[in-house]
Structure 1
Amino acid sequence: MATVHAPAIPAVYGGVEAGGTKFVCCVGTGPDDIRAEARIPTTTPAETLDRAVAFFREHTDRTGQPLTAVGAACFGPVELDPAAPAYGHITTTPKPGWAGTDVVGALRAGLGVPVGFDTDVNGAALGEVRWGVGVGLDPFVYLTVGTGVGGGAVVNGAPVHGLVHPEMGHVRVPHDRVRDPFPGSCPFHGDCLEGLASGPAIARRWGAPAQTLPAGHPAWELEASYLAELMAQLVLTLSPRRIVLGGGVMTGPGLFPMIRARTRELLAGYVSAPAVEAGLQDVIVPPGLGERSGRLGALALAEAAVAAEGLQRP
């Protein structure tokens, strides 16, 4: 008698873009297949994670389609070493109540599926490499400039992990206190890049939110100069083929041309590459996936978790 095989259940993934102000949860397999999505305000860890789990359970109950895995691209800092006792936890975040939160444990316990886990910016970088402006480009960097400043890098096809993970927003940049007497807003470092160039730093320095400042306001030239310092450092250290700049601050008028021009000035002719000589228009760019980079990257993390746990993909 011939063996009858049950039909394979198609893979479907859950993604969580876990941010400091909201969690965006989605179900699907990629940018052209998002089957459900929800935004959950980031309140307490228990309430927020419970609501995320409930969203995925409700989708499974409604559709009869079980999740294959879930990925979480999470604000941090976070512990990414699977051998560490605190793997999957948020660590020294300044967000009240969230330090020590076990994100991976809550999702595993609530959903019973493999969980992929990384920083929000590493997740966004993965999303762009998989489906956006990073396809076929390696090394690749994603930087977000908004409530904070954070960066993720993909090298040899994988997000960069090490002692911890990249914290590009907390590098020191030259701070001319005559030109800019603002002391900085970072609770850890004062005038690191985040302390000088994040949305809250702009608002405190100028007394108004970034989105209300008009074109030609001196805030934008100063912002471009700080971000260009990091761009030059990244070109000289990681030599990425492309750097994406996302986040709410990057909607500021004229920022991209000013950042490219200042970065080229800082490189001072040392880096001999056609893309630099052409003005960096193809190197320093906005995200191809818009605001979806992080949640789509979370789907890519879920897919990677299946392979990492040795499961047979359908």
Structure 2
Amino acid sequence: MGKSWISYASWCFKQAKDSQLNNNEAALRSCFSPILISEVSPERFKLTKDEVQQVKSLILNLLQDKGDMKCFKDEQEGWKFWLDSQEQSNSDNPLTTLVLQLVNIIETVAAAPGAENCGGESLSVMLSSRLKICLLNANLGLRESDVISTLDDLVNIWWSLRRRRVSLFGHAAYGYIQYLSYSSTQLCQNQMPVSNDESLKQKTGSYTLRAILYILHILLNYGVELKDTLESALMVVPLLPWQEVTPQLFARISSHHEQVIRKHLEGLLIMLAKQSPCSIVYPTLVMLMLMKRGLQKSYIMC
């Protein structure tokens, strides 16, 4: 059973990684489980028709609220047709051009790598900035105060796409956590065969560390997008294996730019401290000593 979980998790992680690098859903559809069909469909890589329609509606509402649609009153039927149209190929209409630009920005940022590869900047903040520049440069007489609420709605649409794009990482994390639960149960119940017991323990330990490192990678890079998935899973994950990466947890809790992820790490450390105080005390003392030496070195250099 443990081998099945680790294989499933590894497959999900590899597919998620490959889809990010290649941005090609066709490569995925040849080898998926029916359970995951929604996770590897083309909609995972771009906005759906309904979401594009939402973008259109938001832009029309923005201009109507601003009062800039009065010059088009005689063409209301034309605008209604434009709003209802599913085609995006006609770029003669200035609003169509603007919508295409906004959709392109949303889909491009949704394909960005994980949080640790984004230069310390939140993806949603970066997206909002790019969308704002696009709207203000559209020669529609919009001011920054006019677009604030529309930006929030556009970012919400982006969140839906982003979560779809990284959902396989969530499945991978779930698989690794299930493996940890299974292997921990086996160790506690001492159900390993007597023969080759030591080599089997070493192999299990290797798989366990691998699973922990993959979970940590997913948490640090996609913890915001997968908040709902990871939050409940991390509450029941076996804590003993996390002792191996306690220094990494401490390092990231003070340096990661996303508060949601720092909260996840803090929760893990608190649970670990309750179960095994020694595993927390030693790394804490080491970190304090390093900080103290750093301060002393800085003082001497000054």
More strand, by proportion: 1
TM-score clears 0.5: no
TM range (shorter): under 0.3
**Bigger CA radius of gyration:** 2
More helix, by proportion: 2
TM-score w.r.t. the length of structure 2 is 0.24
TM-score w.r.t. the length of structure 1 is 0.23
